[in-house]
Amino acid sequence: MAASSNILLKWLLPLWSRGIKDLLFVDALEVNEHRDDTITGKILFIPDIVDTGCYSNYNTDCNYAGATILPRPCLRRPPNVREIVGSGATGLVGMTSERTVLKFPRPHEKCREDVLLERKIYRVLGKHDRVVTRYWDSEDGICLEYMHHGSLRDYMLRDNVFISEEIKFRWIVQATEAVEFIHSRLVVHADISPRNFLLDRDLNLKICDFGGASLEGMPASAIETPRYRLPLRNRSLGQPASIKSDIFALGSVIYEVETGSPPFSDLSSEDVQENYMAGVFPDTSGLVCGNIVKSCWQCRFQGCGEMLQALRLIAW
C-alpha cells in the first residue's frame, strides 16, 4: 500500500504545485467496514483544496486504516463551491453560501443519471417541512438548503451532546412524517437510514438523498445496508423497493435513535441478515417506541399513516 500511496502522491502533487486547486481526486479509496457496513465516504483530496476535517484517518502520507488507494477519475470542482461538506455514493455536497449547498455527481455516467433522477424527484415532492428544500437546478447539480447540524447519525455520534428523550421522540415522529409524505407522492426511498435524515439549525429533521430512489414504481438503484434491509424471507431476490421495505428500515432508524446504536451493532452484516431471516431481532421491550419498532420489523404496518397513529397514542 505504501508503494501505491507514493505513486499516487507523485501524480497528484505536481498538479497541486501548478495551482490546479479546484481539481478533486474522487473515489480514491476502497473502504473498510463502518458501523452500518456502508461506504465511509472518505475521499483523498489534493492537499489544501478543501477542509478534510470531516474525514477521519487523514494524514499526509495517505495511510488510511483498512483502505486501499486506487486511482480513479478526477472531477473539477464547480466554481461556486467553497468547500466540500459531504459525500455519498452518487455525488458530493459543497457549500456555496451560508444557506445553500450544491450536490453534484461523481464523474461516472451512472452517478450523473442518479442526480438527474434526484432533480426530478425533488420537483415531484415540492416544498415540504420534512424534505430538504431544493432551491434550483444548475448545469453542475442541485442547489439545496444547508442543514446546519448535518446527518442524524453524525449528530448522535458527537461527543458531549445531550439528546433529551423529547428530542428523540420528535425525531421519530418527524422521520415517520417524512417517509409518509414521500410515499404519498409515489416515491420509495430505498435507502432509509440515519445518514439520509438531516438536521437544521433548530434540530428539526428532514429527509434527503433520492438519487437511488423509486419513482412511480420504477426500479430503485439503491438498496439499504444490512441492518436496515428487509430480509429476503419478506422480500424476494430482485424484488423492487417498496413501502414495506422503507418501513422496515424506518424501524431500524427508530431503534438507533432510541438506543444510540444500530440493530445488532456487535454482529457482522452476514449475521445480522441471518438473524433477520430467522425472525430474530434485538429486544425492544424497554424502548418507548419498542412495539412500533417490532411492528416495523414484522411488517405489520401497511403504511406510515398507521405508524403515526400508533405514535400519537404514546403519551409524552
Cβ 303 vs Cβ 273: under 8 Å: no
Q: Give me the sign of the Cα torsion angle 225, 226, 227, 228.
A: positive
CB neighbour list of residue 59: distance below 8 Å, 6 or more residues apart? none
pLDDT in tens, 40-76: 333 333 332 333 222 233 222 333 333 333 344 566 7
Please indicate whether residue 235 or residue 310 has the higher confidence score (pLDDT). Answer: 310
User: Position of cell 453560501?
Assistant: 97
Q: Which fold has domain 152-312?
A: Transferase(Phosphotransferase); domain 1 (1.10.510)
pTM: 0.78
> Tens of pLDDT along 204-261?
999 999 999 999 999 998 889 999 999 875 554 456 789 999 999 999 999 999 999 9
* Residue 273 CA: distances (Å) to CA of 18, 264, 266, 268: 50, 10, 13, 9
Q: Which residue has the cell 420528535?
A: 170
Picking from 47, 8, 11, the residue whose alpha carbon sits closest to that of residue 28 is 8
Which part of the chain is CATH 1.10.510.10? 152-312
